[in-house]
């Protein structure tokens, strides 16, 4: 069976309009209408993947929709690649952190920048530079652990005193 240009255009526009399981079911029904050799014809004439058609035929015959599992795709978190990373960051930063000087919050402030933390991880814990995440990722991990990377404020002396000093002139 040959496909005319109007049938090709109809099949392609309908397939692009549908998504997921509905698209696969449409493709499977179209291949069934084409008869024997429909897999190859759809692959050659319409540019459809035979694996997608096979999955659609399976869904059509069994009546069970396959899940696409989009949430399982993508890059894994750095803790999955380096399981001891968070513990090592915590060990480094705990010695250099300080609480809020006004004691109004329970935030922990660190004097260390993310660049120094990254260098210390390489030097002290033996990580390689290419296996460690970027400085931005380390900053996010430190924030998740409860460390805030702002300048630690030291005690500020009073600038002016109302009391006269003995050395001052009257």
Residues 85 and 138 in one domain: yes
The 3-state DSSP class for residue 110 equals strand
Residues 82 and 54 in one domain: no
Q: Domain range spanning residue 87?
A: 78-148
Contacts 24+ apart (CB under 8 A), 60-63: 60/25, 60/28, 60/29, 60/32
pLDDT band of residue 155 (cuts 50, 70, 90) is low
Whole-number pLDDT of residue 87: 93
Any domain includes 68? no
Any domain includes 94? yes
Comparing 62-66, 94-98, 120-124, 149-153, the range with the smallest average pLDDT is 149-153
Give CA–CA dist 165/169, Å, rounded.
9
99-148 residue pLDDT tens: 766 777 777 777 788 899 999 999 999 999 899 999 999 999 988 888 87
Give how many domains the chain has, as a whole number: 2
Residues 48 and 86 in one domain: no
Residues 96 and 121 in one domain: yes
Any domain includes 166? no
Reference 45, options 86, 82, 15; nearest CA is: 15
Q: Which residues pair with 120 in a beta bridge?
A: none
Residues 42 and 99 in one domain: no
Any domain includes 129? yes
Residues 55 and 99 in one domain: no
């Amino acid at each position: 069976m040959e496909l005319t240009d109007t049938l090709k255009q109809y099949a392609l526009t309908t397939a692009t309009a549908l998504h997921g399981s509905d698209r696969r079911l449409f493709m499977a029904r179209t291949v069934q209408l084409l008869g024997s050799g429909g897999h190859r014809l759809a692959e050659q004439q319409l540019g459809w993947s035979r694996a997608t058609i096979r999955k659609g035929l399976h869904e059509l015959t069994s009546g069970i929709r396959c899940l696409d599992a989009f949430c399982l795709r993508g890059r894994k978190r750095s803790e999955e690649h380096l399981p001891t990373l968070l513990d090592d960051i915590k060990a480094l930063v705990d010695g250099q952190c300080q609480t809020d000087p006004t004691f109004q919050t329970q935030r922990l402030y660190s004097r260390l920048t993310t660049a120094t933390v990254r260098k210390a991880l390489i030097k002290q814990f033996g990580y390689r530079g290419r296996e460690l995440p970027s400085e931005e990722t380390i900053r996010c991990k430190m924030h998740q652990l409860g460390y805030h990377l702002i300048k630690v404020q030291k005690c500020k002396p009073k600038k002016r005193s109302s009391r006269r000093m003995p050395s001052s002139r009257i």
